[in-house]
A and B are shown apart, each in its own frame.
Chain A
Amino acid sequence: MKPHEISDDDAVRRLLDEAEVAPSDRLTSSLLAFRAAGQDIPAPEPSHELMAFMTPPVDAPAVAPVVPLRRRRNVRGALMVTAALAGTGLGVTGVAAANPDFRSAADQAVQNVVGFFAPADGQAEAPDQTQPGVPAGDPVPPSLDQPHNSGSDSGTDTGSDKDTPADTDSAPASADPAAPGKSLAPGQQTETPGGGNRSGNGERNAEHPPAMPFRDGLPAVPPLDGTLPGPSDPDRPQDKSGKGLPLPESTLPSDDPARIPELPVVPEPQR
């Protein structure tokens, strides 16, 4: 018997002594039968999972390890694209170096492309220069687009309003004084609420910066009564206080909501 093995009789006797139960032959034989019932049963065969624990692992594999193939498809495709781009670039460079007209032809092509998109910008600025009522063929006076930097009439500038659109000087209005109701001269504005801003048309032009594109190009709106006092109209009130002029009664909203406004008849075009 190995020293660490325990006999069944000793185990049963120790158990009875520990429990302080008087031993008897029948009880002892029954306990020994218990013990044998749990020990004499053969162990089942271990399953495959248990055999994996009990089987020593194989150290070296009999077959060389499988190395997965590297995917070279992407690398090859990238190389082909790079070679194609390099060949195209070298060809274009060679042609440019061999033919001196190539540069001028390229510039012409660029200009054509730019000219294709350029009219869009020109059309966007066209309405600013063309005023209603002015024939398309009439040239726009150069003074409309020019900033009024001359100090000839700056002496009467009140300096009260800097937001007033730049009015035309008296030159275009006086050049065509016979058509006060037909059309407005470019840049000639009607009286609007806050008409005091209209005073000193020519005088305030000197203060307006020339970079304002819509100052001179805004279309004029004909007045309701068909008359428009020109810049040189002597009856036009002057805003000397700088706080603005009162609105004429014809432009103010009527107190009677049912009143039909008296609209002027469209003047016949002068022939």
Chain B
Amino acid sequence: MLHALSDDVVYAAQSGKAEAFSEIYAALAPGITGYLKVRGLEDHEGAVQEVFLALFSRIGSVRGGFQGLRTLAYSIAHARYVDDVRRRARHPQLTPYDPDADRRAVESAETALLETLGESDVGRQLKELKPDQQEVLLLRVVADLSLEQVAEIMGRSTGSIKQLQRRALLKLKSVVERKEALL
């Protein structure tokens, strides 16, 4: 359940009250953390700190009350995620050899069945979707943002976001029902 705050908290934070900052952090930090963790950031906790530092520094420019504050917070989080993707693209991650992670080996039937049973994990289901569809579902479900807010964050029109959302839900539904049929 999302914790929504009144607009007065935002105004109090804009006037410099420390208690208002604490309430905003307590209300938005879990959602921001989950969003960044599901997106696969390595140091998602450090990214959360950066997001709130940027948010509190620009608290004076927030318009629209608490919903405007949430939109700005997830916009910053989305920008951090994009920066992380670009950074990883520029610097390939070097990891030591792990025999268990070697996909060239053929898995046993028991292992494949166990993994199929464990496909209820959110990350595994999201991997079946396209990146844009993943982003729309996360912002709509996890962050509980409206279509307009998601369109503003992703820099697209509301209609395209609505189409992406519909395709994402249909794809997710097919994935879930296919897994259920396999079971």
A binds B: yes
**Once the chains are docked, how many angstroms separate the CA of A31 from the CA of B25?**
25
Known contacts A7-B1, A21-B170, A26-B180: A15-B141 contact under CB 8 Å? yes
Q: Is the CB of A53 within 8 A of B18?
A: yes
A19 at the interface (CB under 8 A from B): yes
Known contacts A4-B4, A30-B176, A54-B18: A43-B166 contact under CB 8 Å? no
Q: Which of A48-83 contact B (CB under 8 A)?
A: 49-50, 53-57
In terms of DSSP, what is the predominant structure of the interface of chain B? helix
State how many angstroms separate the Cβ of B98 from the closest Cβ of chain A.
26
A89 at the interface (CB under 8 A from B): no
Q: Is the CB of A24 within 8 A of B56?
A: no
What 1/0 mask marks residues of chain A from 21 to 42 whose CB sits below 8 Å from any chain B CB?
1001011001101110111111
Give the residue name and chain of the A residue nearest to B166 (CB).
A19
Give the residue name and chain of the B residue nearest to A39 (CB).
B30
State how many angstroms separate the Cβ of A168 from the closest Cβ of chain B.
99
Chain B positions within 8 Å of A38 at CB level: 30-31, 34-35, 38, 138, 141-143
Interface size class of A (residues with CB under 8 A): 35 or more
B52 at the interface (CB under 8 A from A): yes
Contact surface of B with A, Cβ cutoff 8 Å: 1-6, 17-19, 21-22, 25-26, 29-31, 33-35, 37-38, 45, 48-49, 52-53, 56, 120, 122, 125, 137-138, 140-144, 147, 162, 165-166, 169-170, 172-173, 176-177, 180
Chain A positions within 8 Å of B165 at CB level: 15, 18-19
Q: Is the CB of A39 within 8 A of B142?
A: yes
Q: Is the CB of A21 within 8 A of B4?
A: no
Chain A positions within 8 Å of B19 at CB level: 54, 56
Q: Is the CB of A4 within 8 A of B6?
A: yes
Known contacts A6-B144, A46-B25, A50-B49: A16-B169 contact under CB 8 Å? yes
Known contacts A4-B6, A5-B1: A34-B137 contact under CB 8 Å? yes
State how many angstroms separate the Cβ of A73 from the closest Cβ of chain B.
43
A163 at the interface (CB under 8 A from B): no
Chain A positions within 8 Å of B52 at CB level: 46, 50
A44 at the interface (CB under 8 A from B): yes
**Once the chains are docked, how many angstroms separate the CA of A26 from the CA of B127?**
17
A–B pairs, 9, beta carbons within 8 Å? A19-B165, A21-B173, A24-B177, A38-B138, A41-B30, A41-B34, A43-B29, A54-B18, A55-B18
A220 at the interface (CB under 8 A from B): no
**Once the chains are docked, how many angstroms separate the CA of A38 from the CA of B32?**
8
What 1/0 mask marks residues of chain A from 214 to 226 whose CB sits below 8 Å from any chain B CB?
0000000000000
**Once the chains are docked, how many angstroms separate the CA of A43 from the CA of B170?**
32
Q: Is the CB of A50 within 8 A of B30?
A: no
**Once the chains are docked, how many angstroms separate the CA of A31 from the CA of B34?**
14
**Once the chains are docked, how many angstroms separate the CA of A19 from the CA of B166?**
5
